[in-house]
Structure 1
């Protein structure tokens, strides 16, 4: 007697095919330069909240970082070098990159006392915890 097909296996195969097709499609947008979201880690060390974000390919000056008591907003905008007019490109994938992400924080923080560093494409923002009743938002300089 033939074995009944497993609908879950068929569904898994369909989802896998769709993921492959959408992955290929995403490479065509903006010349293959697709960085849709900033990957972040949010850690609570007890006294502070530490946000670590991957921003490969950006310079410090390309990064805009803002924080208030409840969230942090990361954005970066970079342009690659100029295209050589007399060059015959076989592939051109490097172009303008722009990303942005707002991350809600698990507790209120003192945005004015926040610090940020950027090393080898990794941004680390340290935000001391604050009493939830304290007012204000603050722009953070990236060093």
Structure 2
């Protein structure tokens, strides 16, 4: 009769490494304070679009720094780019208006969203020579480096 009792199937994965006290506290904080906990009206307006920070790639080339940002749905005229010696700020805004009329029924909705993202640049750049273009929701900014910021290769003897 003892042979008929089945043992529960235990997971066949290896135990993960022990967490440090800081990692454990970070996980607890993330569990209790989920993203968006400071937005009390979120449940009231679930269809409200939320602008997120754009994903940005910074590419350090020999003579220039290329910054690519994903900003779909943002019109060229609603983008503001400012460049300092060692940082780049991209600001944008979306505006959407929807109207619907059917007999006595009239519905109008307007939504707006804005973002601002500042990234540190890996080298000093010449802001006057910067060029920007946009294609299919991807903003590409080319920033020429200042002569003194170019990398030099030093041979080891």
Regarding TM over 0.5, the answer is yes
Q: Does the CA contact (< 8 Å) of 2:86 and 2:120 recur in 1?
A: yes
SS of alignment partner, residue 77 of structure 2? helix
Choose 1 or 2 for highest CA Rg: 2
- Compare the two structures and name the one with the higher helix fraction: 1
Q: Structure 2-normalised TM-score? A: 0.62
Between 1 and 2, higher relative CO (CA 8 Å, sep ≥ 6) is seen in 1
- CA distance in 1 between counterparts of 2:41 and 2:134 reads 27
Q: Does the CA contact (< 8 Å) of 1:27 and 1:34 recur in 2?
A: no
Unpaired runs of 5+ residues, structure 1, are 1-5, 134-143
- In the other structure, the counterpart of 1:52 is 68
Q: Does the CA contact (< 8 Å) of 1:75 and 1:98 recur in 2?
A: yes
- CA distance in 2 between counterparts of 1:33 and 1:64 reads 21
After superposition, the Cα gap between the structure-2 partners of 1:27 and 1:108, relative to the gap in structure 1 and judged at 3 Å, is: farther
Number of equivalences: 124
Unpaired runs of 5+ residues, structure 2, are 1-17, 150-157
User: What's the RMSD between the two structures over aligned residues?
Assistant: 3.6
Task: Output aligned runs, 1:66-81, within 5 Å.
Answer: 66-81=82-97
Query: After TM superposition, where is structure 1 displaced by more than 4 Å over at least 4 residues in a row?
Result: 10-14
- Compare the two structures and name the one with the higher strand fraction: 2
Q: Structure 1-normalised TM-score? A: 0.67
After superposition, the Cα gap between the structure-2 partners of 1:124 and 1:83, relative to the gap in structure 1 and judged at 3 Å, is: same
